[in-house]
């Protein structure tokens, strides 16, 4: 058993916000999914994307945001949760005036990490940001990123 903290893992800002994959094949050798936490400052968003192999579970801990699921807005506040089905496009936006703190989980895993996420939009300068590090079991360790 291994405890992984926010500061143990590399921040990813490629798609917006500050995304931290805490529990994954890379960090704890999970085999069925991965999860973590993210923060979105007011005005920030996570670019629209979809997952061809995974459902995504979202739980808002603090703040509020709009989840656009297939273009339809859903307002979420503290304590609210939402499941995004496999293959459904979604975008997360903080239109509030305070930081949003969100917990997420995706499962099952894609056959290979690079197949797990399909971007439908990109942030300016995103090509200079590292890819999200989920990894395969035994590939790298906490804090390591490729």
- CA distances to 34, 42, 44, 134 from 96, rounded to whole Å, are 27, 6, 10, 29
For domain 10-121, give the CATH number.
2.60.120.10
Provide the residue count of the chain.
146
- Give counts: helices (H), strands (E), the chain: 1, 10
- pLDDT band for position 14 (cuts 50, 70, 90): confident
Residue 60 tokens, joined: 């808002």
- Mean of the per-residue pLDDT values for the chain? 88
Which pLDDT tens digit goes with each residue over 70-102? 999 999 999 999 999 999 999 999 999 999 999
Determine the Cα–Cα distance for residues 38 and 20; give it in Å rounded to an integer. Answer: 6
Give the whole-angstrom CA distance, residue 124 versus residue 86.
Answer: 27
- The domain limits of the chain are 10-121
| Whole-structure pTM value | 0.84
């Amino acid at each position: 058993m291994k405890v992984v903290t926010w500061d143990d893992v590399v921040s990813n800002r490629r798609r917006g916000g500050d995304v931290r994959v805490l529990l994954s094949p890379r960090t704890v050798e999970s085999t069925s999914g991965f999860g973590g936490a993210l923060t979105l400052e007011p005005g920030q968003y996570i670019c629209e994307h979809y997952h061809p192999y995974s459902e995504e579970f979202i739980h808002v801990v603090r703040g509020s945001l709009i989840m656009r699921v297939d273009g339809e807005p859903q307002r979420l506040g503290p304590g609210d949760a939402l499941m995004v089905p496999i293959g459904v496009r979604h975008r997360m936006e903080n239109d509030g005036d305070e930081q949003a703190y969100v917990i997420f989980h995706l499962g099952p895993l894609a056959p290979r990490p690079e197949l797990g996420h399909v971007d439908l939009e990109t942030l300016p300068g995103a090509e200079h940001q590292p890819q999200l590090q989920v990894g395969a079991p035994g590939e790298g360790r906490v804090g390591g990123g490729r």
